[in-house]
Chains A and B, each alone.
Chain A
Amino acid sequence: MAEIAQGQGRAKGKNTRSRTSTKIDMTPMVDLAFLLITFFMLTTTFNKPQTMEISMPDKSDKKVEQFVPESRTITFILGKNDQVYWYAGDNTPGAKVQQVEMRSTAAIRKVILENTKQVLEKTNKDMIVIIKALDNSKYQNLVDILDEMHITNQSMYAIVNIYEADKELLANNFPNSL
Chain B
Amino acid sequence: MPKVKVARKSVSLDMTAMCDMAFLLLTFFMLTTKFKPEEPIVVDTPSSVSEIKLPDTDVALISIGKDGRVFFGLEEQGTKLKMLEEMEKKYQVTFTDNEKNEFKLLPTFGTPIGGLKQILNMGTSERAKVNQPGIPCDSTNNELKDWLIFARAHNARPLKVAIKGDKDSNYEVVKRVIATLQEQNANRFNFVTNMEAKPSSLPK
Contacts and interface: CB of A to CB of B under 8 A. Distances in A.
B169 A139 contact: yes
Interface in B133-174: 162, 164-172, 174
A54 B204 CA distance: 28
A92 interface: no
Nearest to A48: B53
A139 B198 CA distance: 20
Contacts of A55: 187-188
A34 to B, nearest CB: 6
A139 B33 CA distance: 31
Interface in A51-91: 51-60, 78
Contacts of B50: 50-53, 147, 150
A58 B182 CA distance: 7
A37 B26 contact: yes
**Which of under 10, 10 to 19, 20 to 34, or 35 or more describes the interface residues of A?**
35 or more
Contact of B46 (A30, A33, A36, A144): A144
Contacts of A36: 26, 30
Interface string B86-129: 00000000000000000000000000000000000000000000
A56 B168 contact: no
A29 B23 CA distance: 10
Given A26-B15, A49-B192, A139-B170, A56 B182 contact: yes
B120 to A, nearest CB: 27
B54 A135 contact: no
B178 interface: yes
**Which of under 10, 10 to 19, 20 to 34, or 35 or more describes the interface residues of B?**
35 or more
Contacts, number: 162
A18 interface: no
Given A40-B30, A54-B188, A146-B48, A110 B203 contact: yes
Given A33-B23, A50-B50, A51-B162, 7 more contacts: A26-B15, A51-B193, A134-B171, A140-B46, A143-B47, A144-B46, A150-B48
- Per CB-CB distance, the 5 closest pairs between chain A and chain B, nearest first, are A40-B29, A33-B22, A135-B172, A51-B190, A140-B167
Interface of B: 12, 14-16, 18-19, 22-23, 25-26, 29-30, 32-36, 45-54, 56, 64, 162, 164-172, 174-175, 178, 181-183, 185, 187-196, 198-199, 202-204
29 contacts: A1-B14, A29-B19, A30-B22, A33-B19, A34-B22, A36-B26, A37-B22, A37-B29, A40-B26, A48-B53, A49-B45, A49-B54, A50-B50, A50-B54, A52-B52, A56-B182, A56-B188, A58-B185, A60-B185, A113-B203, A138-B169, A139-B167, A140-B167, A142-B174, A143-B165, A147-B50, A147-B196, A150-B50, A151-B202
